[in-house]
Amino acid sequence: MSDPAEVQMAEMRERARTIRARDLRMVFGAGLGHIGGEFSAIDILVTLYFAVLRIDPADPTAPDRDRFVLSKGHSAAALYATLAEAGFFPTAELDAFMAPMSRLNGHPDRNKVPGVETNTGPLGHGLPVAVGMALAARLDGSGRRTFALTGDGELQEGSMWEAAMAAAQFGLDNLVAIVDRNGLQQGDFTERTMRLEPLADKWRAFGWAVREVDGHDIGAMTALLRGVPFEPGRPSCVIAHTHKGQGISFARDRVEWHHHVPTADEFARALAELEASA
Ligand SMILES: Cc1ncc(C[n+]2csc(CCOP(=O)(O)OP(=O)(O)O)c2C)c(N)n1
Ligand SMILES: [Mg+2]
């Protein structure tokens, strides 16, 4: 494997595996967390942080850095593990996830954690904030881009569609929404709770340029996300088809793993699976 692009992809897959293992330890150690939606999002986060975002962990407040908003803020552990892997803070701190006085809270806090761009957790807030960030970038005359990662269940929040309308109205082609389309929300399938399909057509009807991708294919996502905006004058939407719990065979596509905390036996088996996939 001498092709530099292939080497980079292999490195990113290895980072994703490492981040999944750290996330698993964090949730097991804290006794709280959202492994399902974290594991569906980790390949997307790795693609963004290691191949797409124009950021410098040594200078986390540089004015023209790209912005990333974790609209599905309950996946905080995955964001922390990714930020630490990228060098925003030491990986040793991850063990303090949700411990008393730790800055690694259950939902991300921009005032505490380097690399976190805005506080999220209440579903339906991150994309609206990202629209404001993208508009501000334009008003500043800055070339920085804003990327927001949303849940699919989160799209049942009306504020997401107000934000989608506004982004198209303002012609924000410096904004990218990535939908973690894992098909599950907290208690059931999205389609059984509040139907989202035809989802790509909905975003198109709201004025966005839409692409669909395998949300666990880091190579495909890298190629796609390096090509934004998809159309000049329109915001870009990527529907990333994913699986909740991806990486742990007995958690994959299982609704209870939305916030199930592994037992000691499950923890050991999951870690063994992740280690075996190296
Ligand atoms: C406004 C609001 N209502 C409820 C919750 C509790 N909650 C956290 S995650 C979640 C389900 C989200 O599903 P989805 O957006 O599909 O996330 P994913 O499947 O990626 O975990 C719910 C209901 C919340 N955080 N905010
Ligand atoms: Mg979901």
Structural domains counted in the chain: 1
Which segments within 20-72 are labelled E, that is strand? 67-70
Mutate which of 40, 74, 199 for ligand 1 pocket (most atoms within 8 A of beta carbon): 74
- Nearest-atom number in ligand 1 for the CA of 184 is 19
180 lines ligand 1 (CB under 6 A): yes
Q: pLDDT-derived band of residue 143, with 50, 70 and 90 as boundaries?
A: very high
| Calpha distance 113→88 (Å, rounded) | 9
15 lines ligand 1 (CB under 6 A): no
Q: Would you say residue 192 has pLDDT above 80?
A: yes
- Nearest-atom number in ligand 1 for the CA of 157 is 1
CA 2 to ligand 2 center in whole angstroms: 37
CATH number of the domain that residue 218 is part of: 3.40.50.970
CA 70 to ligand 2 center in whole angstroms: 13
| Calpha distance 146→221 (Å, rounded) | 16
| Rounded average pLDDT over 14-19 | 98
Residue 211 corresponds to which tokens in the numbers above? 């692409």
Q: pLDDT-derived band of residue 28, with 50, 70 and 90 as boundaries?
A: very high
Note the pLDDT tens digit of each residue in 65-115: 999 999 999 999 999 999 999 999 999 999 999 999 999 999 999 999 999
pLDDT reported for residue 2: 77
Beta bridge partners of 148: 69, 177
CA 10 to ligand 2 center in whole angstroms: 27
Closest CA to 179 of 234, 221, 219: 221
Q: pLDDT-derived band of residue 58, with 50, 70 and 90 as boundaries?
A: very high
Closest CA to 47 of 227, 172, 210, 183: 227
Burial of 200 (0-12, 13-18, 19+ CB in 10 A): middle
**Angle between the 264-276 and 4-30 helix axes, to the nearest 10 degrees?**
170
Note the pLDDT tens digit of each residue in 259-275: 999 999 999 999 999 99
Looking at every residue in the chain, the average pLDDT score rounds to: 98
Mutate which of 32, 119, 160, 186 for ligand 1 pocket (most atoms within 8 A of beta carbon): 186
Nearest CA to ligand 1 atom 8: 74
Shortest-distance ligand to the CA of residue 120: 1
9 lines ligand 1 (CB under 6 A): no
123 lines ligand 1 (CB under 6 A): yes
Q: Range of 144's domain?
A: 4-276
**247 with 24: CB under 8 angstroms?**
no
Nearest CA to ligand 1 atom 19: 185
Residue 39 corresponds to which tokens in the numbers above? 């594991």
Q: pLDDT-derived band of residue 1, with 50, 70 and 90 as boundaries?
A: low
